[in-house]
Amino acid sequence: DGGITQSPKYLFRKEGQNVTLSCEQNLNHDAMYWYRQDPGQGLRLIYYSQIVNDFQKGDIAEGYSVSREKKESFPLTVTSAQKNPTAFYLCASTGTSGRALNTGELFFGEGSRLTVL
Amino acid sequence: DAKTTQPNSMESNEEEPVHLPCNHSTISGTDYIHWYRQLPSQGPEYVIHGLTSNVNNRMASLAIAEDRKSSTLILHRATLRDAAVYYCILSAAYSGAGSYQLTFGKGTKLSVIP
């Protein structure tokens, strides 16, 4: 089945360490997104990419970096510059065919929960 | 982006209908109304969307006010699996040519009582 796979599901990090969260999709979607969610809050956009080798900052990009070398993959690195990285991270994608073309429906992964010790 | 207002929480008894309201008084003529829901510790999932007319699908119905300043998500028979946070979001029409950024507020936390 097509979908979005995020890994790891849970991750613990010591302060000062960089960590990379993986996001892979086999939906043939062009656009991919990273969101951050804090407890009891909505989702905030970190970065998004419309096409391979191109990405733009979202509302809270500071302390994060991304790459888009392949259409299927959009990894997020949480750097040591991110002062409060403990959160739930969600990856999403949007397609350009079928139902996604008409609605812009976002397809989400299961999320990665990062805890800084 | 135009803003939406939703109640923080609602309760429903199992197997009864649920009406989740959303106010969007500053909606523009081309904004679509989307609903997503998020189960605990999962990513949000699409529920339904509409522009002007009421919409039905296998998950829910969307009732849109005539002036489009409010809408209501209707779950016809609530089940325990419907307990989730429901987000009402506005966005411009998706052109298919690029990214599509939806802004998720805090939503309404729906509790279903057995």
Q: What is the pLDDT of residues B10-43, one digit of tens each?
A: 999 999 999 999 999 999 888 889 999 999 889 9
Please report residues of B whose CB lies closer than 8 A to that of A98: none
CA B52 to chain centre: 14
pLDDT of residue B96: 52
**Shortest distance, CA A49 to any CA of chain B (angstroms):** 7
More confident residue, B45 or B2: B45
Q: What is the DSSP letter of A106?
A: -
A96 touches chain B (CB under 8 A): yes
Residue A29 has pLDDT above 80, yes or no: yes
Place of tokens 């959160």: A87
Q: How confident is the model at residue B2 (pLDDT cuts 50, 70, 90)?
A: low
Do residue B100 and residue A31 have CB atoms under 8 angstroms apart? yes
pLDDT tens string B42-79: 999 999 989 899 999 999 999 999 999 999 999 999 99
Instruction: State the count of interchain CB pairs (< 8 A) between A and B.
Output: 70
pLDDT of residue A1: 65
Residue A102 has pLDDT above 70, yes or no: no
Instruction: State the burial class of residue A44 (Cβ atoms within 10 Å of its Cβ: 0-12, 13-18, 19+).
Output: middle
